[in-house]
Structure 1
Amino acid sequence: MNFSHRRQWLLQLAMVLWVAIASLLIAPRAGASMYDTHLPPELMSGPDLCAYAPCGEVMPSAQHFSKRKGSPTYVEAYADDNGKQRIVGYVFLSTDVVDIPAYSGKPVITLIGMDMKGIITGVRVLKHSEPILLAGIPESELTKFIAQYIGKSAAAKLEIGHGQSDDGAIGLDAISGATVTAIAENQVIAQSAYEIGKQVGIFKVTARPRAHFTALRENLNWAALEKEGSVQHLVVQASDIGSGDSGRPYMDLYFGYLNTPTLGISLLGERGYARLMQDLKQDEHAIFVIANGQVTFKGSGFVRGGIYDRVQVRQDTGTFTFRDTDYQNLYHLEPGDTPPYKESGIFIVRSANFNPAWPWKLTFLANKVDPDTRAKSFAHFDQEYWLPARYLEGGRPKVQRPQAAWKLAWESKTLEIALFVVFLAVTAGLYSQRDRLVRASKRKNKPWISIPRHLLWIVAVAYVGLYLKAQPSITQVMTWFHSLIHQWKWELFLSDPFIFIFWWFLIISVLVWGRGLFCGWMCPFGSLQHLTFKLGQLVGLKRFQGLLPKKLHDKLKWIKYGVFAVLLGVSFYSMEMAEHLAEIEPFKTTFLVGVWNRSWPFVLFVGAILGISLFSERPYCKYICPLGAGLAIPTTFRLFGLKRKKECQTCHACAAGCGSHAIDAQGKIDQRECLLCLDCMVMYYDDHACPPLVKERKSREKAGMPLTPIDGKGYFIPLDSVRRNLSEKAAELNKKAG
């Protein structure tokens, strides 16, 4: 096939690709009814939960439901029994009990029903913000997952991915491709049901022993109190609540527990502490608060006889609020190094259910504005407080804390993580030795380059992509941008260990070598394209394979930068819309979800890309990939690039064989487009391929001069330099012999 026919064939295939993209973008979203759906404020905090939530679905045997009661709140469910109402169970909203973020960093809001024996009768997800369940895994998988809880006791040990074990744990099937979401939702359902069960008396809990303080009486300054943890610091930035940055925190608050002698004396003085303790009765606890900030911690709506609506104390599932009778003025603090403050006060917790020996949290409540939708919600910001062990007789009690979802994800995949790190280390190690590898290769015979790369491509597709599902994506880049601007949460990024490790590797490798190491050696989908291209050669399509004309390529390559800019811009308007548009990445269909779980436009899109890849090298990487564009931008500032000679400005031998079209007419390599195949570097040292070296070699052979090694700049070492070095060594040997 001549060049014009080949070009026509490639352009026709390119048209198929654009049609596939158009089909993809207009493809309907399947089942996104729960994704960031609007929930009325009355459902979240109003007295009549079941007027707005489908309580009957999670408690089918009930016909009537009470108003919210208890702390945390729940609803009693009643059934008609011979004209009377009989309580048959409880219904509760997960966010009234726990606040456990899922993969998105936001909780999955779940409605749960439980009967009088503690058996879960129904589970319904009302709202989630998991992007993979928007445009990847169908929401039916989430519905199937939560159905496993029906009929199980809230007191049972429920675990993801484990069968019935010796310790009585009941295994639950995870959501394939959304393990972190499953782990988080398991904690939400199990902890919510158990806490409500404890509150209503279904599950008996051993009472905690009363706290006994040591007789230690010291007078410490503020720095010492803060260092040992007796004084805690809670800061809420304006950005945390979606407000404009005014240069100072929205709330800057210090607090501490006053009942212990050392803390009370250090902060209030001997007389102040004695007076406070005379006022306090049994099971009453004093907490001091001082604050600066844009607002008052007392609450703008506070009136006499009312409740302080900005400050609460939480311990386990118990919440302790304060009325005006629970407040005392605080006029002075003794330590001379106390930080300046605008307002101060002492709050009294009056409850036998509060135990100062166990950890508790001070909570600041505020209205938060969603940066994407501008919708308002009530948010709480917590800071934990736990008395230092030296103030408690017997020290701090042993506390079993629920393990974070991200820790469970890391611990359950230790072997896979180790193998993945080996893959990254081997890749980086091989590329760091590229100079040796290319010197040992020739343009027509380069096993030291091709064999390792083919093996890495296979591992990237089979292990990293299909097995680990660790394909980096533009959605993660958008999430990072939003987290940097609004609120950074490490647990969000730690929730997927492979993506977390991969991105740290990417950040370092891009700044050191550029995007080419990832895009050309390690990217699962990029590797799949290149293996498809090689498959085309094996099945006899090599004569049809080729590149687009350089001028056309130089225009089309900017498409991916436009896609990146559009996705990033749209994400600031609507993350949901950006997640949908991010389906221009075929990664979810190929690795995360599988083509068998997607509708035809997604399958057509992947098929079109791989079909074109039989004839053209990595078309998606070069022209469409927004992730590649995002990595190309910092590649501009990489530390190391590929070598060039002055003759490269006029010699175009390397450019003719560059599959990335990354070498321009002046012989310069555009590292933003280069996929580091190293073909040009093999030629750089090949005296049978590089025109300047070929010319020098033939000249020496014709003149009968010996061939010297090729130096790091890509030239034969001059004979004069060799003779001079030999003379110097001979003189040195003679000197030693003499």
Structure 2
Amino acid sequence: EKDKHDGKDDRKLIGYVFLSTDVVDIPAYSGKPVVTLIGMDTKGIITGVRVLKHSEPILLVGIPESQLTKFVKQYLGKFVGDKIEVGTSRPGEGMIGVDAISGATVTVIAENQVILRSGLEVARQVGIVKPTIRPQAKFKDIPGTLDWQALLDEGSVQELKVKADEIGQGPGGQPYIDIYFGYLNEPTIGRSVLGEHGYAALMSKLKPGEHAIFLIANGTGSFKGSGFVRGGIYDRVLVSQDIDSFTFRDLDYLNLYGIEAAGAPRYKESAIFIIRSPIFSAAYPWSLVYLANKIDRQTGTKTFTSFDREYWLPARYLEGGRPEIVKPEATWVKVWKSRKIEVVLFLLWLIAAGTVYALRDKLVRRSTMKDTRWKEIPRYLLWVSSIGFVGFYLLAVPSITQVLTWFHAILFEWRWELFLSDPFVFLFWIFIIVTTFFWGRGMFCGWMCPYGSLAELVYHVAGKLGLKRYQRHLLPQNWHDRLKWIKYGIFTILLAVSFYSMGWAEKLAEVEPFKTTFLVGVWNRSWPFVTFWTVLIVASAFFERPFCKYLCPLGAALAVPSTFRWWGLKRKAECGPCAACQVGCGSQAIDDSGPPLAKERKRRTKAGEPLTAIGADGYYIPIVPVSVRPTPSAAERPSLPAFIGQEFFDHLFPWSRKVFQQPVLLQATTFALTVLVTWVWVLGAAGRIGPGIVLGWWLGWSAYELVVRMRCKPYVKDGPWWGRNLRPASWADMASYVAFKNLLIAATLFLIMKGTGILDVLQGLPALQWLY
């Protein structure tokens, strides 16, 4: 190069360009990092930011990528060491705010961290920003040594374990890598691990300010990595302290010939690494970071991901104990604090809505045919506030995509910070889950859903504007009974597709117009979305809530747990066959045979059964056919042990005495299927077979149980779980009950097995290859 420039190097350093994933690994909403190219001048001023690749679902379909480009341009001209947060600026606190992207809060928060943390790390490495100088540790002189278990118990030795399925290599009994590590400069720990002579020899090799850590590892992977073979660089492990990172080369490596502590495990590879930076201090917490290639099973692509374990020297070894440190708040905590006023207002809105809904019967009784203010005003207030405050302002719009994310989080990886990153959606879902078990989906779908409220108001406003004579309040019942199953089909398809590709499920979930209406905006979408949205709104002007009745997958998903609601419709003793309630029900939830009590009276009269009394709680007392084992009624209260045993038998065993009257071959097949399904579930929980296989068997068993229960126990509960108020079940009732009950049982058993450590034992079970 010098010859080329006549012996002079006239190049001038003007800045630095770096890839974010080479410096930090911060996942965004999709669980994958936003790959960003960042430019910075020699003074640490950001000169350019470009997003090269991302997997964010709302940016793949929904919000245009130009919005993300616009967002990252806000960082141009800012210093990498500035305090920059998503939100409003606070000059008094030295905080610079950047505008977020509506509907993509999680993504922009993650991207904010990517730009700042990677830029600050590079700025420190090249000397633009001075590194943090931490006071060095001063050790106490504690005589004696410890065995291996004692070292583990007090935290002097830590374990970092990476399972094979965590990096996409499929389930397996042996971990991908299992690393034990610790700090050797402290005399008691060093003598315990290396022995007296080994510790003395190590200390004689270290210069002042240098630190030694040891690693021993087992597993199919290695912490040395391929970089060590190519260039003497250990590219699989590093030490991090705050935002400072310390990597190792061959000159930082020493052989570890053995562990002297009694009870130490055998190991496949070992090392002693030397940290030669003055900014590292053993008095403060630090982490061992292991970098691995993670394989995406859907695409086969490999991406680097990191696993870390914190280490902090026990206080008894430090003069004065551990120093006081203030750990930075989690990002989701900052989000909640920055919007605390809106959070309080939203909570008050939820409480008000729940109170009004709980008192709706009293409000209806105070209303008359001429004066409907008591029932109409609360509903209209909730509808308007749901659209304006919740939908357009807070962007807290529940969606089927959140249900799918929740379902996958249970099966794959549950991360609280992901769900807590949007406080309003999180609180809304907590409220929806609670009220669904109280009253079913009626409260959310009918009173609080932002889009449902919009459709309802469009229908009523259109009527006031002169379109009432063209409006059809109800479709013919036979058409309604057919079309209402479409939404359940959509939900089933979305759930199934999500196990193949979550990205495709996100795209298909655009059947919900929620994103177009509230998160993105109608006029920011392409013409197919605008056309679909327009058709639904126009239809809503002539038919009451057509999308909610026939297309909404979220409503279908909420219908499943609604089977377990505690309070259903009140049954009045004077209820007859007038069908007035059917005519006035905009949801068409009452079929031609009449209201539920009238329908039951007709059935009993035709069957020659007596008309039973109404219980004190407003529920009728059912009569079970003689051929079925009698079920305790609301008036008969068994003892608590008997009640628990009866509940256990009813929920876990779909068969009645009829099963024992079948041929022996059918009985054997039935019980063999039960054992096989249980075994498949255990293998799935242990990680021996994939979630798709488990889902298939779960659906198969649920279908089998549905048929069996409709033949042997054709009833479901109507009211609180702890009661015994039963009602005849339709196929839809039983399907919802079986699906949700099996999901609850599986999730409960999984949590119990995970919490008690049984899953770790099951890791060694042989896989049933034929199931694949």
| TM-score normalised according to structure 1 size | 0.73
Compute the displacement of 1:240 (Å).
1.7
Higher relative contact order (CA 8 A, sep 6+): 1
Name the CA shift for 1:379/1:188 in 2 (closer, same or farther; >3 Å): closer
The answer for the alignment partner of 2:108 in structure 1 is 182
The answer for the alignment partner of 1:120 in structure 2 is 46
Question: Given that residues 232 and 385 in structure 1 are in contact (C-alpha distance below 8 angstroms), is that contact kept between their aligned partners in structure 2?
Answer: yes
Name the CA shift for 1:268/1:384 in 2 (closer, same or farther; >3 Å): same
Q: Does 1:586 align with 2:513?
A: yes
Corresponding residue SS for 2:91:
coil
Alignment of 1:189-268 (within 5 A): 189-205=115-131, 207-217=133-143, 225-226=151-152, 228-247=154-173, 249-265=175-191, 267=193
How big is each residue's C-alpha offset from its partner over 1:243-284, in whole Å with a ceiling of 9 and x where there is no partner?
Answer: 322355434443322322343355556666556545555444
Alignment of 1:283-322 (within 5 A): 283-291=209-217, 293-295=219-221, 297=223, 310-315=236-241, 316-321=243-248
Q: Does 1:615 align with 2:542?
A: yes
Question: 285-294 or 370-379, which moves further after superposition?
Answer: 285-294
Would you tell me which structure has more helix in proportion to its own residues? Answer: 2
Question: Given that residues 367 and 377 in structure 1 are in contact (C-alpha distance below 8 angstroms), is that contact kept between their aligned partners in structure 2?
Answer: yes
The answer for the alignment partner of 1:536 in structure 2 is 462
C-alpha distance in structure 2 between counterparts of 1:435 and 1:227, whole Å = 60
Name the CA shift for 1:200/1:523 in 2 (closer, same or farther; >3 Å): same
Name the CA shift for 1:158/1:276 in 2 (closer, same or farther; >3 Å): same
The answer for the alignment partner of 2:375 in structure 1 is 449
Amino acid at match of 1:655: Q
Amino acid at match of 1:664: D
The answer for the alignment partner of 1:348 in structure 2 is 273
Q: Does 1:369 align with 2:302?
A: no
C-alpha distance in structure 2 between counterparts of 1:249 and 1:532, whole Å = 58
Question: 613-622 or 303-312, which moves further after superposition?
Answer: 303-312
Corresponding residue SS for 2:345:
helix
**Which of the residues 425, 428, 439 maps onto 1:499?**
425
Question: Given that residues 331 and 344 in structure 1 are in contact (C-alpha distance below 8 angstroms), is that contact kept between their aligned partners in structure 2?
Answer: no
Corresponding residue SS for 2:273:
strand
Compute the displacement of 1:166 (Å).
3.2
RMSD of the TM alignment (CA)? 3.7
Alignment of 1:401-550 (within 5 A): 403-441=329-367, 447-543=373-469, 544-550=471-477
C-alpha distance in structure 1 between counterparts of 2:594 and 2:222, whole Å = 65
C-alpha distance in structure 1 between counterparts of 2:530 and 2:339, whole Å = 30
Compute the displacement of 1:300 (Å).
8.9
Compute the displacement of 1:471 (Å).
0.2
Name the CA shift for 1:306/1:587 in 2 (closer, same or farther; >3 Å): same
The answer for the alignment partner of 1:672 in structure 2 is none
**Which of the residues 286, 291, 299 maps onto 1:360?**
286
Alignment of 1:601-680 (within 5 A): 601-644=528-571, 652-667=579-594
How big is each residue's C-alpha offset from its partner over 1:183-240, in whole Å with a ceiling of 9 and x where there is no partner?
Answer: 3322222222222122112223353333322334575666665455433333323332
The answer for the alignment partner of 2:499 in structure 1 is 572
The answer for the alignment partner of 1:74 in structure 2 is none
C-alpha distance in structure 2 between counterparts of 1:519 and 1:610, whole Å = 17
Question: Given that residues 485 and 550 in structure 2 are in contact (C-alpha distance below 8 angstroms), is that contact kept between their aligned partners in structure 1?
Answer: yes
How big is each residue's C-alpha offset from its partner over 1:433-480, in whole Å with a ceiling of 9 and x where there is no partner?
Answer: 445445545677554433222211111111000100000112222222
C-alpha distance in structure 1 between counterparts of 2:382 and 2:174, whole Å = 50
Question: Given that residues 330 and 344 in structure 1 are in contact (C-alpha distance below 8 angstroms), is that contact kept between their aligned partners in structure 2?
Answer: no
Name the CA shift for 1:371/1:625 in 2 (closer, same or farther; >3 Å): farther
Corresponding residue SS for 2:566:
coil
How big is each residue's C-alpha offset from its partner over 1:561-595, in whole Å with a ceiling of 9 and x where there is no partner?
Answer: 22222223333333333322222111111111222
Compute the displacement of 1:170 (Å).
3.3
**Which of the residues 456, 461, 478 maps onto 1:551?**
478
C-alpha distance in structure 1 between counterparts of 2:147 and 2:453, whole Å = 61
C-alpha distance in structure 2 between counterparts of 1:325 and 1:405, whole Å = 35
C-alpha distance in structure 1 between counterparts of 2:220 and 2:370, whole Å = 70
Amino acid at match of 2:378: P
Question: 417-426 or 169-178, which moves further after superposition?
Answer: 169-178
Compute the displacement of 1:665 (Å).
4.1
C-alpha distance in structure 1 between counterparts of 2:277 and 2:140, whole Å = 20
Amino acid at match of 2:541: L
C-alpha distance in structure 1 between counterparts of 2:164 and 2:370, whole Å = 62
C-alpha distance in structure 1 between counterparts of 2:108 and 2:530, whole Å = 26
Question: 506-515 or 291-300, which moves further after superposition?
Answer: 291-300
Question: 289-298 or 251-260, which moves further after superposition?
Answer: 289-298
C-alpha distance in structure 2 between counterparts of 1:234 and 1:640, whole Å = 49
Amino acid at match of 2:537: L
Question: 433-442 or 614-623, which moves further after superposition?
Answer: 433-442
C-alpha distance in structure 2 between counterparts of 1:274 and 1:81, whole Å = 51
Question: Given that residues 223 and 236 in structure 2 are in contact (C-alpha distance below 8 angstroms), is that contact kept between their aligned partners in structure 1?
Answer: yes
Amino acid at match of 1:348: F
Question: Given that residues 286 and 346 in structure 1 are in contact (C-alpha distance below 8 angstroms), is that contact kept between their aligned partners in structure 2?
Answer: no
Corresponding residue SS for 1:541:
helix
Amino acid at match of 2:213: I
**Which of the residues 67, 82, 94 maps onto 2:20?**
94
**Which of the residues 291, 294, 317 maps onto 1:391?**
317
**Which of the residues 713, 722, 726 maps onto 2:618?**
713
Compute the displacement of 1:623 (Å).
0.7
Compute the displacement of 1:710 (Å).
12
Compute the displacement of 1:362 (Å).
1.2
Compute the displacement of 1:89 (Å).
1.0
C-alpha distance in structure 2 between counterparts of 1:251 and 1:502, whole Å = 40
Name the CA shift for 1:168/1:304 in 2 (closer, same or farther; >3 Å): closer
* Identity across matched positions, percent: 57
Amino acid at match of 2:123: G
Amino acid at match of 1:212: K
C-alpha distance in structure 2 between counterparts of 1:280 and 1:411, whole Å = 47
C-alpha distance in structure 2 between counterparts of 1:335 and 1:240, whole Å = 32
C-alpha distance in structure 1 between counterparts of 2:404 and 2:151, whole Å = 41
C-alpha distance in structure 2 between counterparts of 1:341 and 1:472, whole Å = 51
Question: 218-227 or 374-383, which moves further after superposition?
Answer: 218-227
| TM-score normalised according to structure 2 size | 0.70
Corresponding residue SS for 2:11:
strand
C-alpha distance in structure 2 between counterparts of 1:138 and 1:382, whole Å = 35
The answer for the alignment partner of 1:158 in structure 2 is 84
The answer for the alignment partner of 1:104 in structure 2 is 30
How many residue pairs match? The answer is 602
Name the CA shift for 1:138/1:217 in 2 (closer, same or farther; >3 Å): farther
C-alpha distance in structure 2 between counterparts of 1:489 and 1:80, whole Å = 59
C-alpha distance in structure 1 between counterparts of 2:7 and 2:427, whole Å = 58
Compute the displacement of 1:299 (Å).
5.6
Unaligned runs of 5+ residues in structure 2 are 603-613, 621-772
How big is each residue's C-alpha offset from its partner over 1:390-423, in whole Å with a ceiling of 9 and x where there is no partner?
Answer: 4333444455655443222212100101111111
Unaligned runs of 5+ residues in structure 1 are 1-63, 65-78, 670-679, 685-689, 692-708, 716-738
